[in-house]
Amino acid sequence: MITWIREMLRYMNRNDSCWCGSGKKYKKCHADFDERLDEIKFISSKGQVRPPKRLINNAADIEGIKRAAAINTGALDLMANLVKEGVDTLTLNDVAHEFIVSHGAHPSCLNFEGFPKSICISVNNVVCHGIPSRKEILKSGDILNIDITTDLDGYFADASRMFTVGEVSPEAQKLIDVTHDIMEVGIAAAKPWHFVGDIGAACAKLAHENGYSVVTDLGGHGVGKKFHLEPFVSHDCRPETGMLLVPGIVITVEPMINVGKRRVTVDESDGWTVRTADGSLSAQWEKTILITETGVEVLAS
Ligand code: MF3
Ligand code: CO
Ligand code: CO
């Protein structure tokens, strides 16, 4: 009887406009999606979670994220020409800031929970959230992550890349290259109608095969209509755990990989700078990806 009422309600709503905001009739939009979602049995002991509707982006949302991403990519591309020996990291920050603002967008990190600069620059043993500074001058052998997030008309795109200064050690170069591969295997493991935990399981496997550790205190996240949304994207976890990934969900994959142990500290002096506790080198790459009907589409890199 209950089933019959639910079916009847669904039937009656089929000509209404879809909950996703597309303006299309429900039956031509997310009706099949809802049916498929209803059929899935979530295993609570695995922490499997149903995705809330507010995380599902429609075509217009995706276009908005892509517009923010185009500017974000431009800012990251600019960094490649500027990273060299003798440059201070505040100069890089200022160039990225000007580029983003001159394109009518906003550098999302600026004033985010009190973060004092427009982008994050994390050098050598800094894992993430490094604050650009006039006093931090790049020298040959340094490796650094530049993490930029741009928001435009309420849509956010988040990506980061590694850069090298002059000659870097083979150990450092290997860390950078393997960390990129770790991000890519994580992205390859992200599939519609599978769980977010598959990403971290794939990332951790490759990291551990290379003798590296995976930072677990921080991770990726949903992104799009806000800077940080559910789900938390762990880069070291069990497969088939966490939130179900469905078409329309946008997340980041951004593994932080250490040569030494996974433990990190936060500088007391600024409350932001995350370092490896053992002082070992750390690397990170980040992309913003969309879960599609058939796989993933990279929105920002
Ligand atoms: N862009 C970072 C991320 O990947 C977040 C930086 S927050 C800041 O999620 F406040 F440190 F800028
Ligand atoms: Co980022
Ligand atoms: Co991010």
The pLDDT assigned to 153 comes to: 98
Q: Which of 129, 161, 233 to mutate to test the pocket of ligand 1 (most atoms within 8 A of CB)?
A: 129
How many angstroms is it from 51 CA to the middle of ligand 2? 22
Residue 23 lies in a domain: no
The pLDDT assigned to 261 comes to: 99
Report residue 205: phi and psi, to 5°: -60, -50
The pLDDT assigned to 246 comes to: 99
Domain at 72, CATH number: 3.90.230.10
Residue 70 lies in a domain: yes
**Cut 0.85: pTM above it:** yes
Name the region of 195 (left: φ>0; alpha: ψ -120 to 50; beta: rest). Answer: beta
Angle between helices 197-209 and 170-188 (to 10 degrees): 150
Ligand nearest to the CA of 289: 3
The pLDDT assigned to 10 comes to: 57
Ligand nearest to the CA of 128: 1
The pLDDT assigned to 8 comes to: 57
The pLDDT assigned to 103 comes to: 98
pLDDT in tens, the chain (301 residues): 456 556 556 555 899 999 999 999 999 999 999 999 999 999 999 999 999 999 999 999 999 999 999 999 999 999 999 999 999 999 999 999 999 999 999 999 999 999 999 999 999 999 999 999 999 999 999 999 999 999 999 999 999 999 999 999 999 999 999 999 999 999 999 999 999 999 999 999 999 999 999 999 999 999 999 999 999 999 999 999 999 999 999 999 999 999 999 999 999 999 999 999 999 999 999 999 999 999 999 999 9
What span, in angstroms and rounded, lies between the C-alpha atoms of 153 and 187?
27
Q: Please, what is the Cα angle at 171 between 170 and 174, to 5 degrees?
A: 80
Please tell me if the CB atom of residue 124 comes closer than 6 angstroms to any atom of ligand 1.
Answer: no
Residue 93 structural domain: 52-300
How many angstroms is it from 149 CA to the middle of ligand 2? 6
Distance of CA 69 to the CA centre of its chain: 12
State the total domains in the chain.
1
- Kindly give the number of the ligand 1 atom that is closest to the alpha carbon of 110: 12
Please tell me if the CB atom of residue 151 comes closer than 6 angstroms to any atom of ligand 1.
Answer: no
The pLDDT assigned to 237 comes to: 98
The pLDDT assigned to 6 comes to: 60
Residue 44 lies in a domain: no
- Kindly give the number of the ligand 1 atom that is closest to the alpha carbon of 129: 11
